[in-house]
Amino acid sequence: MNNTLSLARQPIINRNEQIFGYEFFYRDEEGKCRIDDPRHATSSVLVNLLNQIGTAASFGDSLAFINTDGPLLLTNIIRTLPKEKFIFELSETMKHTTQIHEAIRYYHSLGYQFALDNASFHPQYIEDFGPLFAYISFAKFDVNQTDIEQLHFYPNPFGQIKLIAQRIEFYELFEAYKLLGFEYFQGFYFAKSHLITHSRIDPTNSDVLSLFSLLQTDASMEEIYTSFKRQSALSLQLIQFLTSTQPEHTYQATSIKEMIERMGKNALTQWLLLIIYSKSGTSSTGATNKYTLFTQKRVDLILKLLSYAAPNPTEALIENARLIALYSLLKGLMNLSIEQIVRSLNPNNEIKDALLVHTGLLGRVYSAALKLENNDIITASLLLKSYGVTTELLEISILDDKS
C-alpha cells in the first residue's frame, strides 16, 4: 500500500491576476492521470481533500472546482459537502437524462453551484446544455478549441453565466479573452498543474463495508459506535472531514460518538459511500500503510497506559483519552501545530490541557505514550509513577507491542 496520496491543482485567476479558485484533478498512486471510472475519480479527489489533506491546507478561502460525473449527482453525497466551498464541473460528455437534470436543479435550489467544463458555442452543445443554463454559475472554454474570431459574431447564449478561459498559455491570449468579456482565466501562462503529495491514512475496505451495512439496518447509535470505535483510521478521517465541512460538529465534543450523533445516520451513510466509491480503503491489514498502523498503535498505547494508571476508568475518561490520541495524530495528517488543532477543534478543558501542557492524568498518559514511542521507558515511568505504574510494567507493555 502506498503511504502517500497524489492530487493535482491548478489556480484559476481573475482579471487582476489574483487567485479566485483552484481546479483539482485526479491522480492515481503513481501521480498519473489514468481514469477508468469517473465516479471513482471524483470521489477520490473529494476524499483526499476532505478526509486527508483538509480544505484549509488545500485551498483555504478560495473555491475548489471539482470535475463531477453524472451518476454521483443522483446520490445524496453532494448534500454532505459545503456548498460555499465547491463548484462542481459538468463534463461536455455528461449524459443528459431527466434524473440528472432534475438533480442539478435540486442542488441549485439548495445553493450549490455548477460550472460547464469545455463549454462550446456549437448548436448541439447549446441544445443539450441550454435547459441547464439557468442553474449554471460558470462556463469554462478551452481556448485551443474555440475560434476566437467567431466569438465576435456569435450572440452570447450563456447570458449571465461567468466565463472562464482555460489553457491560456501566453499573454496575448489573456488580453484577447479579457476584451471578449471573460472574467476568469486558467492555464500555463499563470501556473502549471501542481502535483500535491500527502501522507495517507486509510481504513480497511471490510471495516467500511461492515459499518455501511450496519447503517442500512435499524441499529442503534450505540451499536454503530461500538463498530466505529474499533476503527481508528476511520475515526481520524471523520474528524478531518467534519473539520473541513461541518466544524460545529467537533466543537467541545467529548467523544467520536458525540460527533456521529451530531452528524446523523444519513450523513454518516453518505460519507461512507463516498469512501467506498473512492476505493481508498485497504484490502487487508498486511497492506495497510505505515501511518494507518501508527494511528492504531498510538490509540491502543494511550488506552493501555490509561488502564494501568486508572484501573477502573469511566467511559467518559476512556473516550477523552481516545480523542487525545486522535487529535494528536492530526498534527501529522494536517501539517498543523497542536496549538492550531486545539484552536480549530475547541475541545473541553481536560483534553485541551492534556494536549497543550500535558497536565492531569490524561496529560501524563499522553506524554508517557510519546516517550514510549521513542523508547524512553525511564521518563515514561517517572511521568506515571504517582499513579502506581512501574518501569517493569511499561517494559512488559512494550514487549507485548513488539510481539
pLDDT one digit per residue (tens) for the chain, 403 residues: 567 888 999 999 999 999 999 999 998 776 667 666 778 889 999 999 999 998 988 999 999 999 997 788 998 999 999 999 999 999 998 889 999 999 999 999 999 999 999 998 888 999 999 999 999 999 999 998 877 666 666 667 888 899 999 999 999 999 999 998 899 999 999 998 999 888 888 888 888 898 999 999 988 989 999 888 888 889 999 999 999 999 999 998 999 999 999 999 999 999 999 999 988 766 554 456 778 888 889 999 999 999 999 989 999 999 999 999 999 988 877 777 899 889 888 899 999 999 999 999 999 999 999 999 998 999 999 999 999 999 988 987 666 665 5
Asked if 301 and 372 touch (Cβ cutoff 8 Å), the reply is: yes
User: Right CATH number for 4-198 from 3.90.79.10, 3.40.50.300, 3.40.50.10470, 3.20.20.450?
Assistant: 3.20.20.450
DSSP string covering 166-231, please? Answer: E---SHHHHHHHHHTT--EEESTTT---EEEEEE----BHHHHHHHHHHHTTT--HHHHHHHHTT-
Q: Give the length of the chain.
A: 403
Grid coordinates given for 321? 483519552
- The pLDDT of residue 5 is 85
Grid coordinates given for 91? 463534463
Cα-based distances in Å from 227 to 176, 257, 282: 58, 11, 17
Distance CA(19)–CA(171), nearest Å, equals 17
Count of C-beta atoms within a 10 Å radius of residue 266? 12
Domain parsing of the chain, residue ranges: 4-198, 201-284, 289-403
Asked if 81 and 46 touch (Cβ cutoff 8 Å), the reply is: yes
332-335, long-range: CB < 8 A, 24+ apart: 332/199, 332/291, 333/52, 333/54, 333/199, 333/201, 333/236, 333/240, 333/291, 334/53, 334/54, 334/56, 334/57, 334/240, 334/243, 335/57
User: Residue 11 pairs with which residues in a beta bridge?
Assistant: 22
Residue whose C-alpha cell reads 461500538 in the numeric block: 226
Grid coordinates given for 195? 502535483
Nearest CA-CA partner of 321 in 334, 335, 304, 336 = 304
Asked if 9 and 24 touch (Cβ cutoff 8 Å), the reply is: yes
Q: Which amino acid is at 152?
A: H
Cα-based distances in Å from 43 to 24, 79, 161, 272, 280: 12, 14, 26, 11, 9
User: Residue 22 pairs with which residues in a beta bridge?
Assistant: 11, 64
Distance CA(8)–CA(22), nearest Å, equals 10
Asked if 91 and 118 touch (Cβ cutoff 8 Å), the reply is: yes
- The pLDDT of residue 400 is 65
Asked if 198 and 4 touch (Cβ cutoff 8 Å), the reply is: yes
Asked if 174 and 192 touch (Cβ cutoff 8 Å), the reply is: no
Distance CA(190)–CA(22), nearest Å, equals 12
Distance CA(58)–CA(68), nearest Å, equals 18
Nearest CA-CA partner of 87 in 133, 164, 21 = 21
Count of C-beta atoms within a 10 Å radius of residue 118? 17
